[in-house]
Chains A and B, each alone.
Chain A
Amino acid sequence: MSEFINENPNVVEDNELPRRKEDEAYQSLLGNAANGEALRRRKLLLKINHSAQSQALKNVELLDRLLLTSVPPELIPDNNEDTSEDDSFDEPADPIDSQEIYDLIAHISDPEHPLSLGQLSVVNLQDIEVHDSGEKDKMAEVIVRITPTITHCSLATLIGLGIRVRLDRALPERFRITILLKTGSHQSENQVNKQLNDKERVAAACENEQLLGVVSKMLSTCK
């Protein structure tokens, strides 16, 4: 059976996970830190009005629906109708940093513990690397190095897949996502890394209902 690196993993309380100071403003605004973060994230994606009076800000459900339906139109057989031209407002570059990535993935549930990946220190703020100019027409990159709680188990692949799916769904299209096991953290590191970063295998895994069910359950605790 699998062997724990640390028999008594140092479990971090949810409210002790690293978070950004400025979030407190949103905390007081909405009375709930997690909700505030989720909203902030959505605003970033949607580029909506940032004021507290914004109708959209008041209506989380509407935002959710907007997010779900923001698929591109069906057939535009035309060269010049670039979607970037739809954005009449000129927003200053707003790069995404490692704290934001952390907030997106820290609350994913561990598939075998009733705890989050942040609490189990499977994901750590200092192991997230982001290269982003914030300009939406430039490519950006995020590298997440994860530390599985045990040195050999197929669950490492599942955890990695959960993180990838979460980031794929939440991050803008300009991001290239790389998920790696932290050096020395797993017996078959290269094998797991190769699988996690194979676009085709990930795409196929996301069409496997059983696997998708497990991943959805892991992500259901994301705020």
Chain B
Amino acid sequence: MIKQVKSLKLHKDKIWDLEESNGLLGTASTDRCIKIVNLNKEAYQLIDELDDTVHKKTIRSVAWRPSSTTLAAGSFDSTISIWSKDDSAHDFTSPTTNFEMELMAIIEGHENEVKSVAWSYDGLYLASCSRDKSVWIWETDEMGEEYECVSVLQEHSQDVKHVVWHPSLHLLASSSYDDTVRIWRESDDDWEAAAVLNGHDGTVWCSDFEKAESKVRLCSGSDDRTVRVWRYIGDDEDDEQEWECESVLPQVHSRAIYSVTWGENGLIASTGSDGLLVIYREVDGQWEIIGKKEQCHGTQEVNVVKWMIVDDKSLLATGGDDGHVNIWEDFSP
């Protein structure tokens, strides 16, 4: 049972990405205008529209810095913008219409389209990836004003589509057009390749870590229409990380999977070109489907799905080519 709570028409063009933090939702779209929506107390109120002249091309990705009101946006114009709201008043529960985030910085470095940006759990590092086949790690100060590139990781042989950090470690996963996922870790003052996950038979569009302290697992979604779950086993004698593909989730997608998300509730959700939203649950090491919603953005493609917790409630947000953000609840089988 998947129930639609809300459908918000936010953009005139495709929504490529979205992320929630503090009950605030940010969106990335072809129309180059980031929208900020307050979801707290079911307000669903548009509180800010960021300057759409900053980026010259599609905004592909947005990411909130943890415990702050700083947002990073990656664009096809090859730059990353950093936006912030003076967060002296940290109360977002009372809706306001003039949130007014300000442009703090523009980060340049990538040769061409930036496809994804992500903050480490402690907000210390920002990772970005691009069609230029590289992953960059940026270190920033407390204010989020200065960005210094601390590493350029270049082992992917094709576009890097997506980056995601582990929820409590300095461990990064990158997904690529070269059909692999690569794992990167901090090593003294530098960053290094820790592992490469082979198994998908097509572009890997997205991955997400399990929100658990005890073990390190990752799910990934691909053009090959499968979702895979990978498990970190340990380090071998050469200090390389050993990973194994633990399971391939039940296959129900008929086209490319563009997005996967692993929630605090332990559930995985996936969506993609077929417009199907699927929720999976693990029972005794076996994954089963507990919910499916067909055409969750009408007849259009769905580019992103993310778990979020708003007002202590577990919700899913999806963004599609129709310019809508849809919000879903009630995931009981």
Contacts and interface: CB of A to CB of B under 8 A. Distances in A.
Contacts of B161: 200
Contact of A77 (B44, B57, B256, B298): B44
Nearest to A83: B298
A139 B112 CA distance: 33
A200 B295 contact: no
A176 B276 CA distance: 14
Contacts of A77: 8-9, 44, 46
A74 B13 CA distance: 10
B58 A71 contact: no
B30 interface: yes
A136 interface: yes
A199 B273 contact: yes
Interface string B293-320: 0010011110000000000000000000
B7 A75 contact: no
Given A137-B299, A176-B255, A176-B273, A204 B113 contact: yes
Contacts of B12: 71-72, 74
Interface string B280-303: 000000000000000100111100
Interface string B1-44: 00010111110101000000000000000100000000000001
Interface residues of B, number: 38
A178 B62 CA distance: 29
A76 interface: yes
A173 interface: yes
Nearest to B113: A204
B210 interface: no
Contacts of A75: 9-10, 46
A199 B203 CA distance: 11
B274 A139 contact: yes
B115 interface: yes
Contacts of B275: 139
Contacts of A203: 14, 30, 58, 76
A207 interface: yes
Given A79-B7, A176-B255, A136 B299 contact: yes
Contact of B58 (A76, A176, A204): A204
B299 A174 contact: yes
Contacts of B14: 203
A199 B202 CA distance: 13
Say what secondary structure dominates the interface of chain A.
loop
A204 B295 CA distance: 25
A176 B295 CA distance: 13
B262 interface: no
Contacts of A199: 256, 258, 273, 301
B136 interface: no
Q: Which of A73, A78, A194, A200 has the most CB of B within 10 A?
A: A200
Interface in B185-204: 202-203
Interface residues of A, number: 25
Given A77-B44, A139-B295, A198-B177, A204 B131 contact: yes
Interface string B166-190: 0000000000010000000000000
Contacts of B8: 77
Contact of B298 (A137, A140, A194): A137
A199 B302 CA distance: 12
A201 interface: yes
Nearest to B158: A194
B323 interface: yes
A20 interface: no
Nearest to A141: B255
A8 to B, nearest CB: 38
Contacts of B295: 137, 139
Interface string B247-260: 00000000110100
Contacts of B131: 201, 204
A79 B4 contact: yes
Contacts of A21: none
Contacts of A113: none
B159 interface: yes
Smallest CB-CB A-B distances: 7 pairs: A174-B299, A76-B9, A207-B57, A79-B7, A204-B113, A139-B299, A204-B76
29 contacts: A72-B12, A73-B9, A75-B9, A75-B46, A77-B8, A77-B44, A78-B9, A79-B6, A137-B295, A139-B274, A139-B295, A140-B299, A173-B299, A173-B300, A173-B322, A194-B177, A194-B203, A198-B177, A199-B258, A199-B301, A200-B115, A201-B131, A201-B159, A203-B14, A203-B58, A204-B76, A204-B113, A207-B58, A207-B76
